[in-house]
Structures are given as C-alpha cells and as structure tokens.
Amino acid sequence: MRLPRPFSTDDTETFDGYDEYVPDSLPEPGPFLSDHDVLTGTEHLAVHRLARMLFEARGVYDTTFGYNLARLNVDRRHPDAGFRYARETGDESVLRAEFTPTTEFCPQSDTLSVAAMRALNEECDRHEYDRVRVRVAPMHHEARAINDRLRPRS
C-alpha cells in the first residue's frame, strides 16, 4: 500500500487534472472487474467525466474531504482509492464500476456506493450503457454486506 501524500494548498500539487489518465493515482482493478474489459486511457477518462457530472448533479459528495466523489480519482494523497470501470464481458451495454474507499473502515462506503449507483443508473439516457453495476472493493471491512445490498433483486 502506498502512503498518501501530505496535504497541500496548491491544487496542482494535490490533484491530477481531470483530462489526465494517471494510473499511479488510481486503485488497481479488483475482483469485480477481473475477467472484464477494464477501461484505461481516454475510455476511462470519458466515463469518469460522466461520473463527475452526474455526481455533481445528484450531490454525491464525500463529506470527509468536502468534494464530489469523482475527485477522489485525481487526489494524489489517496492513490489506492477511487473508481475503476470495465465493460462487462458478454454484454457491453453494462458498465461495471468498483469503488475503493480510502480506508478499510470508511464509514461512508455504503452511502457513497449506493449514491454512485443511483446517479449512474438514473441518468442512463446520458450515456451509452443500459445499466451500471457498482460494487465496493473487498478491502472494506463491510464489503460483502454492502455489495449484497447493491445487487439487483429479482
């Protein structure tokens, strides 16, 4: 695990640009994305710009840091946290999003993952995916319970 960078008042030292794909500032794709087409480069940036816009419209904010949850992906202080995305194998109309919180005990993980899922799914007319599945990375101590609640009920 990489240690977070110290806080700084200069945004250019603390945050990558939204138009920059910086793999070192992103969490490794976890098991929810394995065996699927993980988005990188411009494809990742396009989906993440959309997430940023939808999170802003829906108020998906991390109250600990006081910013739109999408900003976590560009926050250099937390290089192992944020969202990774993949096109689902066998059904490219489904996007998978895996949220890795900053700590294994992040108290907002349930609320943030549900809010992210709702924001991304309730605005399907604004993107190319019919459905977005969201899960919390298994490093979180309540990942199993949270992910059970995120699974669609049939």
C-alpha dihedral sign at 45, 47, 50, 51: negative
Write the DSSP symbol of residue 15.
B
Q: What is the longest distance spanned by two Cα atoms in the chain? A: 48
Instruction: Please report, in tens digits, the pLDDT of each residue of the chain (154 residues total).
Output: 444 444 444 566 799 998 999 999 999 999 999 999 999 999 999 999 999 999 999 999 999 999 999 999 999 999 999 999 999 999 999 999 999 999 999 999 999 999 999 999 987 788 889 999 999 999 999 999 999 999 987 5
Write the pLDDT tens digit of every residue in 35-73: 999 999 999 999 999 999 999 999 999 999 999 999 999
Strand (E) or helix (H) holding 87: strand 82-87
Cα(139)–Cα(141) distance, integer angstroms: 6
Domain locations along the chain: 18-150
